[in-house]
Amino acid sequence: MEENYCKEEHFSPEAIERLSHHYREILTILGEDPGREGLLKTPERVAKAMAFLTQGYHADPKEILLSAKFREEYKQMVIVKDIELYSLCEHHMLPFYGKAHVAYIPNGYITGLSKIARVVEAFARRLQVQERLTVQIRDCIQEALNPMGVAVVIEASHMCMQMRGVQKQNSATTTSAFTGVFLSQMRTREEFIHLIGSRLR
């Protein structure tokens, strides 16, 4: 039967081959037979999956923001909330997933709304801890746009707590990071917390 489906992926062939070799070894060490039918292409599939899940190492989040930086005198809060994120815990290389809520108050410049989500994606697609991820997003926006303040809150569930270890399936972790007026003005911070918790749609 002729195959009409062709999936386009952009990975380094050398990196995929090297990763595949190691995953074949891992399968053997685990007691599997990488030569059996169901596992023949598994090392390559896993290699490509890992390349995709860590592609953030090849992105420059600051440049993402600067690519759509516009002068604008708007000085009220800009919020992009419920940004889905998927990352890998650097301690166990198991997924953690959830949502990021990001706000900033412009100081002469704004950026494209989709760029905020792309910054979250660029940092999330690396081996991470949630605490560092939260701070990296905050600092990147602060450095690129120099706004009056940045606020980031991430809510996530960690498979390293759900699948192994304490195995608490309903646990969730919330982290936050603030700069500028979100730190110095409680009222502004409270407005942000209220807005990300409300259902405006």
- Both 153 and 190 in one domain: the answer is yes
Q: What is the pLDDT of residues 125-163, one digit of tens each?
A: 999 999 999 999 999 999 999 999 999 999 999 988 888
pTM of the prediction? Answer: 0.91
Q: Is 90 a catalytic residue?
A: yes
Q: Is 140 a catalytic residue?
A: no
Query: What is the distance between the alpha carbons of residues 198 and 45, in angstroms, rounded to a whole number?
Result: 40
Give the chain's domain count. 2
Query: What is the distance between the alpha carbons of residues 130 and 128, in angstroms, rounded to a whole number?
Result: 6
Is residue 4 assigned to a domain?
no
Is residue 8 assigned to a domain?
no
H or E, element range at 82: strand 78-89
User: Annotated catalytic residue: which of 92, 142, 162, 185?
Assistant: 92
User: Annotated catalytic residue: which of 17, 72, 90, 190?
Assistant: 90
Q: If you average pLDDT over every residue of the chain, what do you get?
A: 93
- Both 26 and 72 in one domain: the answer is no
Is residue 182 assigned to a domain?
yes
Q: Closest Cα to residue 47, out of 88, 5, 13?
A: 13
Q: What is the pLDDT of residues 173-198, one digit of tens each?
A: 999 999 999 999 999 999 999 999 97
Q: What is the pLDDT of residues 35-60, one digit of tens each?
A: 999 999 999 999 999 999 999 999 99
Q: 43: domain CATH number?
A: 1.10.286.10
Q: Is 185 a catalytic residue?
A: no
- Both 127 and 168 in one domain: the answer is yes
User: Annotated catalytic residue: which of 121, 136, 140, 158?
Assistant: 158
Q: Is 91 a catalytic residue?
A: yes
pLDDT over 70 at 201, yes or no: no
- Both 189 and 134 in one domain: the answer is yes
Find the domain containing 70 and state its range.
60-197
192, 77 Cβ separation under 8 angstroms: yes
User: Annotated catalytic residue: which of 160, 162, 185, 191?
Assistant: 160
- Both 42 and 86 in one domain: the answer is no
- Both 113 and 191 in one domain: the answer is yes
- Both 157 and 89 in one domain: the answer is yes
